[in-house]
Structure 1
Amino acid sequence: MRRWLALLVAATTSVVLIALLVPMALLIRAVAENGAMSRATGAAASVGVAAGTDDLPLAVERVELPVTVFLPDGRTLGAPAARSDAVRLAATGRSVTAEAPGGREVLAAAQSPQGTVVTRVFVSEDELTRGVREAWGALAGLGLALVVLGIVLADRLALAVTRPVDGLARVSHRLAGGDLEARAEPGGPPEVRSVALALNHLAGRIGDLLTAERESVADLSHRLRTPLTALRLDAESLRDPEEAARLGARVDALERAVNAVITGARRRSAGRETCDAAAVVRERVRFWSVLAEDQGREVEVSVPGTALPVAVTAQDLVACVDALLGNVFAHTPEGAGLSVRLGPRPDGAALVVADRGPGFEPALLRRGDSGGGSTGLGLDIARRTAESSGGSLGVSRGPDGGAVVEVVLGAG
């Protein structure tokens, strides 16, 4: 914005200055020419007064400009000059001004007892433009100084506008990164101050909504405690120990899921946490490898041996990896191989899960509509995990026809 405002002011100032200075420059030149011609006319008149007298040679010497006097008998006094058509015209008794090589000539006719005396005063181009170049240089310098001054003032004005706007941008990025305590400092023009106040109000409103959401989740958890307890009691009351253990395990898994939802909601407004993506991915692949071995699936794993911190919690990354691998096992036939690759990026890390199944449907990219009887929430979990870290998720078709899901995670 600063550059565009400076260019706008420079263009506007230049147009105004051209509209003013060009006519002024032409006027200066016209005034200089008129002054030179006036001096030449005066000099010719002063010499013409002495025509026919003995003071004529002295009058010619007193004139600073080149003067030639053409006498009736054909003789000339002063600077040598040829009898041009203009001189012959002036000899008829008319005073004229004519163009001459290198300037202009002023011809004045005066009557003497011997006949018509023609006085010629030559005005050179330098005399016609005396002082014009200096005046034009002064005008150009003045115009340039005004343009520079306008650009400097425009830059100061633009800085007063862009500095608060840059502050608003920084605050918005902090809010997007999860720092809900970020607030903008109102400043600059009234409109920018209004935007800063609105952004602060929005940040406060977001905090209030998240607080209300956490309270709602906490209330929901308390409401679920009673039916979960009843289910646990029912499971323990079963006569078949194996059936009781199986239902008890299911109840424990449901309780852990509820606790995870509560923990995630409470952590949503806190500062961003990090985890070692290499350790998490390595552990989850080891967990799923047991099922892959039972189904005859070949698993290719490429995980760095060193720590790879990313801007998500270990619990969220576990849910993301489990969702991606669960999709592979749920939507590909037994025996279809898969690969899991984790690698560093300049801005974080990239997790790529590919399978050698029959392919995928474009609807996989839409929440709740994945086809094949799936809810489509697996990819949505992965997408939210990636976006919460400042990354992204992409789905494409692999060279073998299977699905390739790439999760880009921000650096921790």
Structure 2
Amino acid sequence: MIDLKLLRSTPDVVRESQRSRGDDPGVVDEVLAADAANRAALQEFETARAEQKLLGKDVAKAQGEEKQALLARTKELSAKVKELQATADAAATRAVELARSLGNIPEPGVPSGGEDDFTVMRHVGTPRDFAAEGVEVQDHLAIGEGLKAIDMERGAKVSGARFYFLTGIGARLELAVLNAAMDLAYRRGFSPTITPTLVRPETMAGTGFLGKHSDEIYFLERDDLYLVGTSEVALAGYHSDEIIDLSDGPLRYAGWSACYRREAGSAGRDTRGIIRVHQFHKVEMFAYAHAEDAAAEHERFLSIEEEMLQALELPYRVIDTAAGDLGSSAARKFDCEAWLPSQERWMEVTSTSNCTTYQARRLNTRERVENGTAPVATINGTIGTTRWLVALLENHQQADGSVHVPEVLRPYLGGLEVLEPVR
């Protein structure tokens, strides 16, 4: 949630934020009106409550008819106080609900526009010239089936479309990627964490995932619980309603979890293989930091993601995502996209977002400051997930159907340097 003080003092900044995101700027005026109604109702309530307290003292001193008259006035005033309190509470609830619908304010320099209006920051590595090598490019599913690493047919039989089995070397390869990611995070000062994959509605809402993309989330109505699409959700809720100590620097966690997404609205997109699926695994970095340190921490997350991609010997590019393609909680998001040889395009494999104080305000996560407490900033970023297998298999494929294993993964695969097809 954005800072209501900022909204009151600079509403035009928030209106422009809404426009840059492709959202309705008129919501800003609705929030301001609800906020004004709340403060007016609260003022009336406080005035009536003060009168009620004074009247109580007068009743104690009065006698006879005067006392009866004061008692009648007290009864009348008590009813009014209750009514005013209810009005103030309703106005406050309305103001908060509307304020929660506003996306975070993009940082200066974030490109305006939608999904296709990103800015390319840099390219790292050069895609292989498979034709020059005499290699006929196969997609990851064909390669995976040759290795007996991916079984889509039985995944669909058991669970339906967009489900799969990783088998044999496929399962080992995913575990290798995730363990390498967790080890890198640990070396960079993150505390390894296995997180819950079911969370309460207040946790899911607090992270900003129940906005316009809520149809992406699986909901267990009987249990009133949500399945997470990222361990960011559980980690954001880890310190909810707490005052945390950042005197020694950011609190950093690396969460490993299964993740679930409905992929609503993606009919016909990436239906082959494991690019866009309903269930996958992921290692997610998450940090709580001073608000003024959030941008620097965000850059640090990006550098760790790039370190992992380079260790996997993948050609990639980094993009600065446009405001209209940011999640509601993100003020800035950098995506890393690996080259996908079979489709000759860039494919997002990881991203990192600076959520500034947006999530912490909603989840009431604070730190002590000179004049009381203040919300902290939260930053998130992925350093290993199932989709990375797509980029690994395709970029490291050989003419005979085998796959080169990057050196960083070999210790997790018993020293294997090449994955051989199963004849």
Larger strand share, 1 or 2: 2
Determine which structure has the larger helix proportion and give its number.
1
TM-score, reference length from structure 2: 0.27
In our comparison, the structure showing a higher alpha carbon Rg is 1
TM-score with structure 1 length normalisation?
A: 0.27
> Bigger relative contact order, structure 1 or 2, given CA contacts below 8 A and separation 6+?
2
